Amino acid sequence: MRRGKEYYYRIAKEQGYRARSAFKLKQIQAKYKLMKGGDLVIDLGCSPGGWSQVAGEIVGHKGLVLGVDLVQSEPIDGVIFLLGDVTEEGFTDRLTCLLNEKAHKKSKADVVLSDLSPKLVGSYGLDQARSVWLAQHAFRIAREVLRAGGCFVCKVFEGEDYPPFFDEIKSSFQFLKAYVPPATRKKSSEIYLIGKGFKQLIQDPSD
Ligand SMILES: C[S@@+](CC[C@H](N)C(=O)[O-])C[C@H]1O[C@@H](n2cnc3c(N)ncnc32)[C@H](O)[C@@H]1O
Instruction: Tell me the pLDDT tens digit for each residue of 28-77.
Output: 999 999 999 999 999 999 999 999 999 999 999 999 999 999 999 999 99
Dist CA 117 CA 133 (whole Å): 10
CA nearest 152: which of 195, 207, 121, 93?
Answer: 195
> Would you say residue 183 lies in a domain?
yes
Query: Could you give phi then psi for residue 145, rounded to 5 degrees?
Result: -115, -10
Q: What is the DSSP letter of 107?
A: S
> Would you say residue 206 lies in a domain?
no
Atom 22 in ligand 1: which residue has the minimum CA distance? 69
- The pTM score is 0.95
Asked if 191 and 166 touch (Cβ cutoff 8 Å), the reply is no
> Active site residue: 108, 155, 177, 186, which one?
155
Ligand 1 residue neighbourhood (C-beta within 6 Å): 18-19, 21-22, 45-51, 68-71, 85-87, 115-117, 134
pLDDT above 70 covers what percent of the chain? 94
- Specify the ligand 1 atom closest to the Cα of 88: 19
pLDDT score, position 5 = 61
pLDDT above 80: residue 1: no
Residue 2 — pLDDT band, cuts 50, 70, 90?
low
pLDDT above 90 covers what percent of the chain? 84
Domain that residue 161 falls in: 7-198
Question: Is 155 one of the annotated active-site residues of the chain?
Answer: yes
Using CA atoms, how far residue 206 sits from 140, 165, 202, 203, in Å, is 22, 28, 12, 9
Query: Could you give phi then psi for residue 83, rounded to 5 degrees?
Result: -80, 130
The CATH number linked to 140 is 3.40.50.150
CA nearest 77: which of 64, 92, 94?
Answer: 64
Max Cα–Cα distance, the chain, nearest Å: 58
Dist CA 125 CA 144 (whole Å): 29
pLDDT score, position 119 = 93
pLDDT score, position 102 = 84
Dist CA 13 CA 121 (whole Å): 28
The mean pLDDT of 72-91, rounded to a whole number, is 96
Dist CA 79 CA 60 (whole Å): 10
CA nearest 99: which of 150, 48, 49, 133?
Answer: 150
| Substitution candidate for ligand 1 out of 115, 127, 190 with most atoms within 8 A of CB | 115
pLDDT in tens, 112-130: 999 999 998 888 889 999 9
The mean pLDDT of 88-111, rounded to a whole number, is 90
> Would you say residue 23 lies in a domain?
yes
> Would you say residue 204 lies in a domain?
no
- Specify the ligand 1 atom closest to the Cα of 119: 15
Residue 200 — pLDDT band, cuts 50, 70, 90?
confident
Dist CA 84 CA 13 (whole Å): 28
pLDDT above 90: residue 24: yes
pLDDT score, position 105 = 73
Using CA atoms, how far residue 37 sits from 63, 108, 141, in Å, is 6, 16, 23
> Would you say residue 203 lies in a domain?
no
Residue 93 — pLDDT band, cuts 50, 70, 90?
very high
Query: Could you give phi then psi for residue 92, rounded to 5 degrees?
Result: -60, -35
> Would you say residue 76 lies in a domain?
yes
Q: How far is the CA of 15 from the centre of ligand 1 (A)?
A: 22
- The structural domain count of the chain equals 1
pLDDT score, position 202 = 60
pLDDT in tens, 142-176: 999 999 999 999 999 999 999 999 999 999 999 99
| Substitution candidate for ligand 1 out of 69, 76, 185, 191 with most atoms within 8 A of CB | 69
Handedness of CA 53, 54, 57, 58 (dihedral sign): negative
Atom 8 in ligand 1: which residue has the minimum CA distance? 50
| Substitution candidate for ligand 1 out of 65, 66, 117 with most atoms within 8 A of CB | 117
Atom 5 in ligand 1: which residue has the minimum CA distance? 46
- Specify the ligand 1 atom closest to the Cα of 24: 8
Dist CA 154 CA 84 (whole Å): 18
> Would you say residue 111 lies in a domain?
yes
Helices (H), the chain: 7-14, 22-32, 50-59, 91-102, 124-145, 162-170
> Would you say residue 2 lies in a domain?
no
